[in-house]
Chains A and B, each alone.
Chain A
Amino acid sequence: DAGVTQSPTHLIKTRGQQVTLRCSPKSGHDTVSWYQQALGQGPQFIFQYYEEEERQRGNFPDRFSGHQFPNYSSELNVNALLLGDSALYLCASSSLDRAHSGANVLTFGAGSRLTVL
């Protein structure tokens, strides 16, 4: 099991552009959460997807949107990029089934580092 895989690992965009980041969850996990980690800070929750729907959302503007596919993989889209969107974007998968061993434990990917110029 490759665990959580994210792509791309690095990318550079300019202000106003749009970006799509991708995530495949760990085998057996059905829930995908996205976090933004700015330099020197802890991860901040963006949103969570389960059963192809956004279940929870953090304090991020509508420019941030996502999607979950039937195979549980997920995308994060950011429109109208700002300089302040430069960060490491982390995908984490988990299982909502509380009977599942390790439920509510997050398994993180390596992240996608976005630089906005």
Chain B
Amino acid sequence: AQRVTQPEKLLSVFKGAPVELKCNYSYSGSPELFWYVQYSRQRLQLLLRHISRESIKGFTADLNKGETSFHLKKPFAQEEDSAMYYCALDHGQNFVFGPGTRLSVLP
């Protein structure tokens, strides 16, 4: 069965520190993986997708099929990065979301 896990419910870092939000998945096919973000009082929105191989707001994520991981990284966290982050797997237009990690960037 398709499954997405995010082991950390809450991650706190200081401004300027590196941040890594972990995501692991189980999927038998060729996965398409995404990171969605929800800022305070805003809607859930796409942050980045692995197929685009782009950096958004300084965040990057590399798909590691051997480790079945898609960790989200940023070298220098900013206070405005504080939000809820969800890793998601596209199972044929049926998205499986992880439970989410709340990132808190402290001043």
Q: Which residues of A contact B98 (CB under 8 A)?
A: 42
**Given known contacts A108-B44, A110-B43, is B93 in contact with A94 (CB within 8 Å)?**
yes
**Given known contacts A56-B92, A104-B32, A104-B90, is B97 in contact with A44 (CB within 8 Å)?**
yes
In the bound complex, how far is the Cα of B86 from the Cα of A56, in angstroms? 22
Q: Is B49 a contact partner of A45 (Cβ separation < 8 A)?
A: no
Chain B binding surface SS class: strand
In chain A, what residue has the closest Cβ to B32?
A104
Q: Is A42 a contact partner of B93 (Cβ separation < 8 A)?
A: no
Q: Which residues of B contact A107 (CB under 8 A)?
A: 45
In the bound complex, how far is the Cα of B88 from the Cα of A105, in angstroms? 11
In the bound complex, how far is the Cα of B95 from the Cα of A107, in angstroms? 12
In the bound complex, how far is the Cα of B95 from the Cα of A35, in angstroms? 9
**Given known contacts A43-B86, A104-B32, A104-B90, is B43 in contact with A109 (CB within 8 Å)?**
yes
Q: Which of A42, A105, A109, A110 contacts B97 (CB 8 A)?
A: A42
Q: Is B94 a contact partner of A58 (Cβ separation < 8 A)?
A: yes
**Given known contacts A56-B92, A104-B90, is B97 in contact with A90 (CB within 8 Å)?**
no
- Residue with the highest number of chain A CB atoms closer than 10 Å, among B36, B90, B93, B99: B93
Q: Is B44 a contact partner of A45 (Cβ separation < 8 A)?
A: no
In chain B, what residue has the closest Cβ to A41?
B99
Q: Is B93 a contact partner of A108 (Cβ separation < 8 A)?
A: no
CB of A96 closer than 8 Å to a CB of B: yes
CB of A24 closer than 8 Å to a CB of B: no
CB distance from B20 to the nearest CB of A (A): 19
Provide the A103-116 mask, 1 if CB < 8 A to any CB of B, else 0.
01111111100000
Q: Which of B86, B90, B93, B97 contacts A96 (CB 8 A)?
A: B93
7 A-B pairs with CB atoms under 8 Å apart are A41-B100, A42-B4, A42-B88, A42-B97, A58-B94, A105-B34, A111-B43
Q: State the B residues within 8 Å of A (CB).
A: 4, 32, 34, 36, 43-46, 49, 86, 88, 90, 92-100
Question: Which 6 residue pairs spanning A and B have beta carbons closest together?
Answer: A42-B97, A108-B44, A43-B97, A56-B94, A42-B99, A108-B43
